[in-house]
Amino acid sequence: MHTASQILENEFLEVRAKLLEVAATLDRVDRSAAESAPLDAGAQSSRDRIDAAIQILLDEGSGRAERLQRFFSREYEKDWRREMEI
């Protein structure tokens, strides 16, 4: 098993790259919204969900990955096959 320091050392560059990608995307969205038109309702909903997900990442303690997965997942529906026509 790796120590916490080893894990962070091994993963730092990849995590950094992913965070930069998220930041760059949000910057592009903000610039575009300022230059053209504000986000429509659907896009604003997506932006709000991203902001809420970032808050989950900022929480202390473990379980962030599970909370994010649940946050972005649909609620289980017993008859999902019928509704999706599968």
Q: Do the domain assignments include residue 81?
A: no
Q: Residue 43 pLDDT > 90, yes or no?
A: yes
Q: How far is CA 3 from CA 6, 8, 17, 78, in A?
A: 5, 9, 22, 42
Number of domains in the chain: 2
Alpha carbons 32 and 25: distance in angstroms, whole number: 11
Q: Do the domain assignments include residue 43?
A: yes
Residue 2 structural domain: 1-37
24 and 43 together in one domain: no
What would you measure as the largest C-alpha separation in the chain, in angstroms? Answer: 51
28 and 12 together in one domain: yes
- Give the pLDDT score at 66: 96
Q: Do the domain assignments include residue 17?
A: yes
Q: What is the pLDDT of residues 25-38, one digit of tens each?
A: 999 999 999 999 89
Q: Do the domain assignments include residue 79?
A: no
Q: Residue 21 pLDDT > 90, yes or no?
A: yes
6 and 25 together in one domain: yes
Q: Do the domain assignments include residue 65?
A: yes
- Read off the pTM: 0.80
